[in-house]
Structure 1
Amino acid sequence: MEKFLARSISIAFHPLLLPTLGLLLLFQTDLYITFLSGTLKQVVIISTLVSTGVIPALFVLSGRIFKSNSDSWEKVPVQTLTYLISGVSYFAGYYLVSKLPVAGFFNAIFLSGTLVLVALALISLRWNISSHMAALGALFGIVLAIMLRLGQHDMGLIVVILLAGGFTGYARLVMGKNNPAQVYAGYILGFSILFLIFNFV
């Protein structure tokens, strides 16, 4: 039961879904860009889902298929390639969103996400850092930075994000996917990059 719950949490807060979930969450608050029309919000959400979720997911699935059917793929660092392909997809999302009249904030999200993925790709060559926790740390970093810049606070949102991070970290440990150091390092990495970019740039 415990492993089933951990797996469910891990899927719910998967890095491929979190950018879209994060935007949906932000759109429900008064913290930022609430003036966007419904149509623009839909365009942003769809662009985010395609570039940060669908395209990387297709690559992951195709990579697993090729690896299972070819011995030559055994030595290929599939996880590292996944991060790099995801980074390219994020950059594609940046290009799509840059055509919108309110692109600045979203451009920063995609470019920051690209930096996180490049960092994960480099680290994963030597160490199994947690991408789940990096994504949740990034979400907390961007929300906290926005709150500080706008002088607004939504403690409910902060609590939800922190709980999501705590439960996900627990899930990764229960499933044996990461050790405590990898969980904490992933969270700190994602948080640091997004918080610094949105708080000081």
Structure 2
Amino acid sequence: MEKFLARSISIIFHPLLLPTLGLLLLFQTDLYITFLSGTLKQVIIISTFISTGAIPALFFLTGKTLRNGVESWEKMPVQTLTYLISGVSYFAGYYLISKLPVAGFFNAIFLAGTLVLVALALISLRWNISSHMTALGALFGIVLAIMLRLGQHDMMLIGLILLAGGFTGYARLVMGKNNPAQVYAGYILGFSILFLIFNFV
């Protein structure tokens, strides 16, 4: 039962789904961009899901086949390749979003996401850092930075994000996918990059 719950939590807060879930969450708050039309929000959500979820997922499902078919990649971990392809996909999302009339905030999200994925790719060559916790740390970093910049505070939202991070970290430990150091390091990595970018840039 415990492992079933852990697996369910890992699926709900999967890194491929979290960018889309995070934007949906932000669109339901008064923290930012509440003036956008429903159609524009839908375009942003769909573009985000395709570039940060669907395309990386397709590569992940075929990653081993691609790796075996390209001799120069044979010694590179599939996980690292997945991060790199995801980074390229994020950058494609940045290009799509840049065509919209309110692109600045979302461009920053995609560029920051690309930076996080490059960092994960490099680290994963030597160490199995938790991508789940990196994604949740990034979500907390961006929300906290926005709150500080706007002078607004939503303690319930902060509490929900922290709880999601706590449950997900516990789930990764229960499933044996990461050790405590990898869980904490992932969260700190994601939080640091997104918080610094959105709070000081």
Q: Shorter-chain TM-score: what band?
A: over 0.9
Aligned counterparts of 2:112 and 2:69: Cα–Cα separation in 1:
35
Question: Residue 27 in 1 paired to residue 27 in 2?
Answer: yes
Q: Which residue of 2 aligns with 1:142?
A: 142
The aligned amino acid for 2:137 is: G
Once residues 3 and 70 of structure 2 are traced to their aligned partners in structure 1, the CA distance between those partners, rounded to angstroms, is 31
Instruction: Tell me, in whole angstroms, the C-alpha distance in 2 between the residues paired with 1:3 and 1:72.
Output: 37
Question: Partner residue of 2:189?
Answer: 189
Distance 2:177 2:125 in 1: 16
- The CA RMSD over aligned residues, in Å, is 1.7
Q: For residues 102 and 30 of structure 1, do their structure 2 counterparts lie closer, same or farther at Cα, with a shift above 3 Å needed?
A: same
Question: What are the superposed Cα offsets for residues 150-195 of structure 1, whole Å, 9 maximum, x if unpaired?
Answer: 0001111000100000000000000000000000000000000000
Look up the match of 1:114: 114
Give the secondary structure class of the aligned counterpart of 1:31.
coil
- TM-score norm. by structure 2 comes to 0.96
Tell me, what secondary structure is at the counterpart of 1:99?
coil
Structure 1: 5+ residue runs without aligned partners?
none
In the alignment, is residue 81 of structure 1 matched against residue 81 of structure 2?
yes
1:75 deviates by 3.4
- What's the offset of the Cα at 1:64? 3.5
1:76, CA displacement in angstroms? Answer: 3.2
- 2:36 maps to what in 1? 36
Separation of aligned partners in 2, 1:70 and 1:103: 37
Q: Distance in 2 between matches of 1:124 and 1:131?
A: 10
Aligned partner letter, 1:139: L
**Ranges in structure 2 where 5+ consecutive residues have no aligned partner:** none
The aligned runs of 1:1-201 (5 Å cut-off) are 1-66=1-66, 75-201=75-201
Over 3 Å counting, the alpha-carbon distance change for 1:82 and 1:199 in structure 2 is same
Identity %: 89
Q: Hey, what's the Cα distance between the residues in 1 that align with 2:18 and 2:125? A: 23
Pair 7,70 (structure 1): closer, same or farther in 2 beyond 3 Å: farther
Task: Give the Cα–Cα distance (whole angstroms) in 2 for the partners of residues 14 and 50 of structure 1.
Answer: 15
The two structures have a TM-score, normalised by structure 1, of 0.96
**How far 1:109 moved relative to its partner?**
0.2
Aligned length: 201
Q: Distance in 2 between matches of 1:55 and 1:104?
A: 23
Rounded to whole Å, the distance in 1 between the matches of 2:3 and 2:23 is 29
Between the aligned partners of 2:69 and 2:115, the Cα distance in structure 1 is: 32
